[in-house]
Amino acid sequence: MKIAVTYDNGQIFQHFGHTEYMKIYEIKDNEVIGSEVLSTNGSGHGALAGFLKAQGVDVLICGGIGGGAQMALADADIKLYGGCSGDADTAVKNYLNKTLMYNPNVKCDHHDHDHEHGHDCHCGDHDHDHDHECRHGDCGGADDHRDQMITLTIIDDNGNSQDEEFRVIAVYPAGANRYIALTPDLDAPEFDANIFLFKYLEENGQATVEEIVEDEEFAMAADAFQNWQLTHH
């Protein structure tokens, strides 16, 4: 398996069609066993998909990308994770850990597309029947990571695990900590969606999500999120 990242000085380059370099990672047994930085030779939007296919790439991680390039990647059977930023190596590690945050509605800044964001929740989902392994990667540029996607591993009472996708509503402060609001209802309006709140931590560019254990802390996080909503509508 091979993963490509639009690349510039260690970071994820933010414009797919203008990227001068791709970093290609070779993966075996879910580990990086090698990588190389290749010049795209000014391939441009359409030809870059062919360039990646010729390199045997299966997955692309990038920043902004236009609709035509997305279609070309789909035709080449290359899975796209767009809307990412930050350290390229960290993004690949997060992908392998199934913790990469990305934007399924990614677009290039110079393309005109309308995209509306809604923000609301029901904050009563504190008592869960499942445990959550909640580590995720910090792959977005904005502080709130709004409308990005994240995959969490849900573990039931019998120890069985299942991956489930969530949409990020917000990352916001409360007290001395930051928290993240997520919904598994990817297409539902915010008023109808189930919302889950977790503690959000960052260290050395790596973000983690932890269960809120104490009822008092959860109540504080829920109140802060409702206040956040009032200021972001």
pTM, rounded to two decimals: 0.55
pLDDT at site 106: 61
In a domain, 116, yes or no: no
Helix segments in the chain, DSSP class H: 44-54, 67-75, 88-96, 215-231
pLDDT at site 5: 96
pLDDT tens, position by position, 201-211: 877 666 678 88
Together in a domain, 67 and 147? no
Domain of residue 76, residue span: 2-96
pLDDT tens, position by position, 185-227: 777 666 566 788 888 887 766 667 888 878 788 888 888 888 8
Cross-strand pairs, 170: 181
pLDDT at site 97: 84
Pick from 113, 103, 174: which is nearest to 142 by CA? 103
pLDDT at site 125: 39
Structural domain count of the chain: 2
Cross-strand pairs, 208: 201
pLDDT at site 58: 96
Q: Are 156 and 198 in contact (CB under 8 A)?
A: no
For the beta carbon of residue 19, count every other beta carbon within 10 angstroms. Answer: 23
In a domain, 45, yes or no: yes
Together in a domain, 141 and 89? no
Higher pLDDT, 1 or 142: 1
In a domain, 104, yes or no: no
Last residue of a domain, one of 96, 122, 150: 96
Together in a domain, 148 and 68? no
> Please, what's the b/e burial string for 201-230 (b: 16 or more CB within 10 A of its CB; e: otherwise)?
eeeeebbbbeebeeeebbebbbebbeebbe
In a domain, 69, yes or no: yes
Q: What's the pLDDT band for 47 if we cut at 50, 70, 90? A: confident
pLDDT tens, position by position, 128-181: 334 444 333 333 333 457 777 877 776 666 667 777 788 888 888 998 898 988
Together in a domain, 8 and 91? yes
pLDDT at site 127: 40
